[in-house]
Structure 1
C-alpha cells in the first residue's frame, strides 16, 4: 500500500506541468517591479519620522498629537489590506494595484496642502489605505509565480527591496523637511508614485492563477499590460476553458481571510510575528524623540540616524532569504531519500505532502535570530541612559543596536511571511493581509503607548520589559515546531473531505 502510494506520488510529480512559464529572469523582473511598488508602504511611514517635531511646530500641536498620525497610519495599514488583498485574490492582482495606487496618489495631493492637523490625520489614514495593499498583493504575486522551493528567497528579496525605503526614507524626509518644509515630502511621494503607477500599467502582467493559470492563459481587458497589447504573443499562450466563470465578490470574500485565525498554527505564527513587529515599530517611532533629546540632532541628522535601522532591515532580509532556501533544500533532499523518491525529481509544487516537515524547514534559524533580537532590545534601552549619552561618540552604540534589532526582526518577518504563505496555498494576498492586520494592530498599540512608557518607567526599563515580552511569547515557535505539521495535515484532510462532499452535492443536483 505504501509502495503504491509512493509510485502514484512519483507519477503525479512526473506528469506535473511547470509551476509557471516565466523563466528565472522574468520572475526576478516581476519581483523587482512589485518590490518597487511595495516601497511606498514603508517609505510613506519612514520618510515622515524625522519631521515629527517640525510638523508639531508648523501646525501648532503637541508631539504626542502628531504621533497619533503614526498610530492611525498603522491601524489603517493593518485593516485596508484585508479589503485589497481579498479582492486581489478574487478579481486579480493588476487591477487592485492600479486602484490602490490611485487612492494613494489622491491622498498625497491632499497632504501636500495640509492646512491643519485634521486634514493631516484623515489623509494620512487614506494614504495608508492606498499604500499598505502593495505589500499583501506583492506576496500574492510571488505565490502565483514561484513554487515553495524558491519562495523563501523571492519573498526575502522582495522584502529587502521594500526595506530599502526604511533606510533611505528618513534621510529623504529629513532633507526635504529641513529645506522645503514637511509638505514637500508628500509632493515627492506624489511624483514617484505616479511614475510607478505608469510603469505598472505598461509592464506588469496579471499573475493570479485563477485568471492567468501558470502564465500560459490568454489575458484580456485590464489584466493585459500595455506591453502585451503591442508585442507578439508567446507561442505557449492558449485560450481558457469555456467552462470557467469569474468568481463573484461577496461579503464572504472579505470575511474568509479572518477565518484563518481559527487555525492554530497560523494563529501562533501571527502572534509571534506581531509581537516582534510591535517592538521594532516602538524602537523606530521613539527614535526621533529619544535621539533629539539625548544627542541634540536637527532634522537632517535625525534622518541620518535612521540609516542603521534601514540597512539592518535589508541585511536581515537578504541573509535569511538564502538560509530559507538552503534549509528547504535540505529538508526536501532528506524527505526524498526517506521516501525513495529519485533525487532528480522535485516534490509537488502546488500541494506539498502532508508529512513533509515544512515547519522545520522554515523555522530552522528562528532560535538564534530571536535570541539576538532579545539581547539587542534589552541592551538598547541601557545604551540610551542619560548618564552615558553625553560621552563623545556614544551615539554609535544605540545605532549599532538598532541595526541588529532591525536585522533580526525583519529576518523573523521573512520567515513568518514565508511560512504563513506556505500554510495558505492559493491565498497569498489574503494571508499576507491577515498577517499585516495582526502586526499593524499590535504595532499601533505599541506606538501609541511607547512615549508614555518611556516617560513613566524610563527608557532602560521600557526596552528591558519589551525584551522579556519576546521571551514570554517564544513558546509559540516551540509549539509550532512540534505540533505544526500535525495541524497542517488535519487541515488538509478536512479540506479534502469538504471538497469531496461538495462534489457529491453537485453530482446529486445534476
Structure 2
C-alpha cells in the first residue's frame, strides 16, 4: 500500500521536514530478498552446494591410506609425500583470499563452475604423475582452485537463508563436507588396495564432473544484488501506478550492494577486530589440528603395534567422520537456539558452542597419550572422535556468527576464515610433524591441548564482555525511549525503506 509517511534510507535519517514529503511503501507491501525462495527450493540449493563441496575433503583424504604406496611408487621420501598434503592446504589458504572477493564481484555460480573445471584438469595430471615433483605442483594447483567450493558455497548459503536460520543451514551445508573424511579414506583404501593409488584420482575426477553438472543445471545465481536486479526486471513497466514504477521495496537493503571486487588484503583488517579475531583464532586452530591429526594417524597406524593395511586405516576414519558429522548438525541447531535465548548480542549464539568445544583439548590428550603409550586402538579413535565433534560444533556457529556480523562482505569474511585455516594447517604439517621425533606424541598433543584451552578461555571472556555491553546499551536506550521527542516519529517509521530503481 502506497502512502505518504516518513522514509528512512539505509544509511541516514532524513530531517522531519524532508521526510514529510517522501513517498514510500510500508514494509507490509515490501518483500524480503529471502522470500523469493520457497523452503523446498532453498533446501534443494543447499543440498546441491553441499554435495558439490564434498570434493574438497574427499580430495584431501582419499589418498591418505596410500601414502606409503605413493612413497614406494614415486621413489620419494616420507617427508616429500607428506608435503603433498601441506602444499595442497597452503595453496588453498593463499587462493582462498581471492575466491571470496571474486564471488562478491562476479557472482557465486560462475566462480564455482570455473574452479571445478580447472580442478578436473589438475586432477587428470595428478593421476598421470610419474615423479613426486609433478604430484607436488599439481596437488598445489588442486588446492588453489577447489577451496572455492568451500568459500563460495558458504557465501551462497548465506545469500539464501535469513540470519535466524543461518546456523542450522550452515550445519547442514557442512554435513557432506564432513562426510568426506569418512568416505575419502574408506574409498581410497579400497581403491588403493585393488587398483593402486592412481585410481583415487580417477574417482575424484568422476566426482568433479558430477558436481560441475549439478551446479550448471540446478544451482541459480544467489548473489543478493544480482538477484535484486533479476527481480527489478520483472516489475510491470507499463503500470499506471507511478509509485510502483518508481519504487521497489526490499527490506534487506543493507546487504544489497553493487558487486565490486575488494582486494584480498583488505580482508586482513578483520584480524584487528577484537570482537571477531578470538573466535576465528579458536576456530582455525582446531581446524589446523584436525588436518594434522588425520596426517599423523595415517602414518602412526602403519607402525607398531598397529601395523594396519590401507583398507583398515580407511575404516579408522569412520568414527572421526561421524563425530564431525554429528558435531556440525548439533552445532548449527544449538547456535540458532542460543541466538534466540540471547538476542541482544550477536555473540549470544556462540555461548553453548564454546562450552562444547572443551571436548577438543580433552580429545587431543586422550589421542596423544594413547599413541604415546601404544594403548589399544580404541583410545586414539575415541580421542580423535571427541576432538572432531568439538571442532565442528564450534566451527558451524563461528561461520554463522561472522556472516551475521559482516553481512555485506560474507564472501570476503568466509574467505578469510577458510584461508587462515588452510594456511595454518599446511604450515602446521611442515613444522609440527618433525617435532614428533623430539617431543613424542603425548607431550606434543598436550601442548596443542593447552593452546586450545587458552583460546577457549579468551573467546569466552570476549563473549561475556560483549553480552554485558549489549545489556547496558539496551537499558540506556529504554530510558531514552521514555522521553518524548522527534525520535518517536522516526521509530514509528523505522521499517519503511525505499529503493529507487527507475
What TM bracket, shorter-length normalisation? 0.7 to 0.9
Q: Which residue of 2 aligns with 1:27?
A: 42
Give the 5 Å matches for 1:217-228. none
TM-score by length of 1: 0.79
TM score, norm. by length of structure 2? 0.81
- TM-fit CA distance, 1:90: 1.0
Correspondence for 1:263 among 266, 273, 294? 273
2-side partners of 1:140 and 1:114: how far apart? 34
Tell whether the 8 Å contact from 1:141 to 1:428 is kept in structure 2 after alignment.
no
1:472-501 alpha-carbon deviations (Å, 9 max, x no partner) = 2223312321344669x99xxxxxxxxxxx
Measure the CA separation in 2 of the matches of 1:319 and 1:175: 31
Q: What is the RMSD computed on CA atoms of the aligned residues?
A: 2.6
Which has more radius of gyration? 2
Residue from 197, 202, 206 that aligns with 2:221: 206
Counterpart residue number, 2:21 = none
> Cα deviation per residue 1:213-262 (whole Å; 9 max; x = unaligned)?
2973559xxxxxxxxxxxxxxxxxx9999xx996454xx44333223223
**Among 453, 459, 463, the residue aligned to 1:471:** 453
Tell me, in whole angstroms, the C-alpha distance in 2 between the residues paired with 1:102 and 1:357: 42
Unaligned runs of 5+ in 1: 220-237, 333-355, 491-510
Measure how far apart 1:74 and its partner are: 0.9
Q: Does 1:417 align with 2:431?
A: no
Shift of residue 312, structure 1, vs aligned partner: 1.0
Distance across 2 between alignment mates of 1:464 and 1:245: 47
Cα distance in 2 for partners of 1:117, 1:53 equals 13
Aligned to 1:52: 67
Deviation for aligned residue 1:115: 0.9
Question: Which residue, out of 72, 87, 92, partners 2:107?
Answer: 92
Q: Structure 2: any 5+ residue segments left out of the alignment?
A: 1-7, 14-24, 235-244, 249-255, 474-502
Question: Are 1:272 and 1:476, in contact at CA under 8 Å, matched by a contact in 2?
Answer: no
8 Å contact from structure 1 (residues 42, 163) kept in 2: yes
- Show the counterpart of 2:316: 305
The answer to whether the aligner puts 1:357 opposite 2:307 as a matched pair is no
Match of 2:86 in 1: 71
CA 1:85 to 1:53, structure 2 compared with 1: closer, same or farther past 3 Å? same
Number of corresponding residues: 430
Partner of 2:202: 187
- Where does residue 156 of structure 2 map in the other structure? 141
Over 3 Å counting, the alpha-carbon distance change for 1:212 and 1:182 in structure 2 is same
What's the counterpart of residue 231 of structure 2?
Answer: 216
Distance between the aligned counterparts of 2:409 and 2:44, measured in 1? 22
1:439 paired with 2:427, answer no
Match of 2:358 in 1: 371
The answer (yes or no) to whether the contact 1:71–1:447 under 8 Å persists in 2 is yes
- Residue aligning to 2:288: 278
Q: In 2, Cα distance between the equivalents of 1:430 and 1:34?
A: 18
Change (3 A) 1:122 1:98: same
Whether the aligned pair in 2 keeps the contact of 1:100 and 1:131 (CA below 8 Å) is yes
CA distance in 1, matches of 2:232, 2:385: 45
